[in-house]
Structure 1
Amino acid sequence: MHEDRSSDGEGAPETVAVPRSLVPHLSQSAILLDIDGTLLDLAPTPREVWVPPGLADTLNRLLVQTSGALALVSGRSLNDIDLIFAPKQFPAVGGHGAEMRVSIDSESVAIHAPPMDKELKLRLAAIAKLSPGILLEDKGYSLALHYRLAPHAEEAIYQAVSLIRADLPNAPIEVLPGKCVCEIKHSGFTKATGVLELMNHQPFKGRRPFFIGDDVTDETVFAIMPDLDGLSFSVGRRAQGVAGHFGEPSDVRQWLAHLLDDENTTTRP
């Protein structure tokens, strides 16, 4: 990981290695982690992501060391998150803040997030017919159009979404551009609102959070970390306002494993 000397997002960053002591003792920390592009390498389709050997065990050990204050923060639904990491389960904020599970023993709850209107969803889903290779993912609270297999269709997808929004100016929806994905969700909730709600519950309450994310949707969480006396780190790019950045998900996985090593061998102030 690297510490960013500039936060303007322009040019090549001047960087130095960041000591893991930047993160407080795990007994005082809340660990918040995005999944795709952060913990896991991106894949051609959402279903093709792969959990490397040892990652689930690392997360589970961090969950124990933090007394349960580790959560996955994702645009994926809680059900999808559980399928990816099965048989392990973790506390999580899913659906871009639409769902939350505070602990592995608690039931998942919706956070004031109504499902997307059925007719609107059908109109948006029809965009997938623009080109072979556009993959449709229905997340309940949102709809994602993946075009990693059809990069030429990017402009056409966003134009089609814009036409629908122009036709329905009062529809309470928000467009989230991502890495080869255009996601449309109900407005009024974000990953940040989900994290803020999560941090009001034990065992997260009163701890210092640190969040690692990679995409545009993670920027809402980057922005609120100072309000929580927390830290944020980006992956693959130097995002504005972060304390440091990682080159790729494998760096994140290695760093998390080293947090456990440090916890077992040293005492950080």
Structure 2
Amino acid sequence: MPTDDWALFLDVDGCLLELADTPDAVVMPDGLRERLAALQSRLCGALALVSGRTIAKLDELFAPLRFDAVGLHGAECRSRQLNSGVAASPPALAAIRDAAQRLAAVYEGVVVEDKGRALALHWRRAPDAEPALQAFAAHSLEQLPGYRLQQGRQVAELYPGGDGEGGLDKGHAIAALLEVPPYRGRTPVFAGDDFTDESGFEQVNAREGISVLVGDRSPSEARFHLRDPAAVRAWLGVRDDMQGDHEVD
């Protein structure tokens, strides 16, 4: 269970919520929003959602509540002390989005997720499409200066994360929040499931915090483990119909 000195960072899809075939198909468990609000109050506000979704989409998903948030894998960050985002979409992105839709029509089950300034290609329901989508994403990146290609679980995403080692990611955003109230001076705790969460684990580990991998992916920088989102919710004190262990190990 969380303790009062934590700064708590929580990934959403695959961590708080079970993954779904499409991003819009996720299910919000009863009591989760209210429990997060109670934890936010208990931690004096030091709780943030960390996601590849936009902050606007997170607000829709958790409405009517509104939490501090990191969106687009770190390209967006919102708290009482920080409010950062990225510039408007480059002109090339519209043509790339249209081409992605045409490619998706060839493979039944492919989902093109339009995030405004980012674009995600999902092949969870069409595994045979992975080579074509990966090649398309790599080629498209050449037309998008300042963008990064982010690999995830059965998804490749083009997002405005900067260039090289100086680019934005979840770890950079978590580090920035830890420099300002109410996060500063607290023990950082981050739970996530995907490759995109590794930069966050690294930042938390460097500060002697608690990094928690959700699921059985390997290798990972995380030092602790929870089996699935139901176990995460149990660990946080949410009362729902989860199964399985909920101790961090």
> Percent identity, aligned pairs only?
37
**Which residue of 2 is the match for residue 126 of structure 1?**
99
Measure, in 2, the Cα distance between the counterparts of 1:68 and 1:39.
18
**Which residue of 2 is the match for residue 177 of structure 1?**
151
Q: Which has the larger radius of gyration?
A: 1
Which amino acid letter does the alignment assign opposite residue 102 of structure 2?
A: K
Q: 1:92 aligns with which of 69, 76, 80?
A: 69
1:159 correspondence with 2:135: yes
Partners of 1:128 and 1:134 within 8 A in 2: no
Which amino acid letter does the alignment assign opposite residue 110 of structure 1?
A: S
Structure 1 position 236, deviation (Å): 0.7
1:250-261 matched pairs, under 5 angstroms: 250-257=230-237
Structure 1 position 239, deviation (Å): 4.4
Structure 1 position 162, deviation (Å): 2.3
Measure, in 2, the Cα distance between the counterparts of 1:52 and 1:221.
25
- Give me the CA root mean square deviation: 2.0
1:241 correspondence with 2:215: no
**Which residue of 2 is the match for residue 15 of structure 1?**
none
Structure 1 position 121, deviation (Å): 4.4
Q: 2:41 aligns with which of 44, 48, 64?
A: 64
Q: What is the CA deviation profile of residues 195-218 of structure 1, one whole-angstrom value per residue up to 9, with x for unaligned ones?
A: 111112211111111000000100
Partners of 1:58 and 1:257 within 8 A in 2: yes
Which amino acid letter does the alignment assign opposite residue 147 of structure 1?
A: W
Partners of 2:148 and 2:159 within 8 A in 1: yes
Which amino acid letter does the alignment assign opposite residue 174 of structure 2?
A: V
Which amino acid letter does the alignment assign opposite residue 225 of structure 1?
A: V
Structure 1 position 125, deviation (Å): 4.4
Q: What is the CA deviation profile of residues 113-154 of structure 1, one whole-angstrom value per residue up to 9, with x for unaligned ones?
A: 334422144225412322232222222332111222222111
Measure, in 2, the Cα distance between the counterparts of 1:85 and 1:206.
27
Gaps of 5+ in 1: 1-19, 259-269
Gaps of 5+ in 2: 239-249
Q: What is the CA deviation profile of residues 152-195 of structure 1, one whole-angstrom value per residue up to 9, with x for unaligned ones?
A: 111110012223345x4x82221111112111112221111111
- TM-score, structure 1 as length reference: 0.79
Q: 2:207 aligns with which of 217, 228, 232?
A: 228
**Which residue of 2 is the match for residue 201 of structure 1?**
180
Partners of 1:125 and 1:136 within 8 A in 2: no
Measure, in 1, the Cα distance between the counterparts of 2:35 and 2:95.
40
Structure 1 position 222, deviation (Å): 0.8
Measure, in 2, the Cα distance between the counterparts of 1:195 and 1:121.
30
Q: Which range moved further: 88-97 or 206-215?
A: 88-97
1:75 correspondence with 2:52: yes
Q: Secondary structure at the match of 1:39?
A: coil
Q: Which range moved further: 147-156 or 57-66?
A: 147-156
Partners of 1:98 and 1:190 within 8 A in 2: yes
Q: What is the CA deviation profile of residues 55-89 of structure 1, one whole-angstrom value per residue up to 9, with x for unaligned ones?
A: 11111111111011011011111110011111111
Q: Which has the higher contact order (CA 8 A, sep 6+)?
A: 1
Measure, in 1, the Cα distance between the counterparts of 2:219 and 2:7.
21
**Which residue of 2 is the match for residue 4 of structure 1?**
none
Structure 1 position 228, deviation (Å): 2.4
Distance 1:153 1:60, change over 3 A: same
Distance 1:228 1:121, change over 3 A: farther
Measure, in 1, the Cα distance between the counterparts of 2:215 and 2:57.
24
Q: Which range moved further: 33-42 or 226-235?
A: 226-235
Measure, in 2, the Cα distance between the counterparts of 1:125 and 1:252.
38
Partners of 2:189 and 2:211 within 8 A in 1: yes
Structure 1 position 100, deviation (Å): 1.7
Partners of 2:198 and 2:221 within 8 A in 1: no
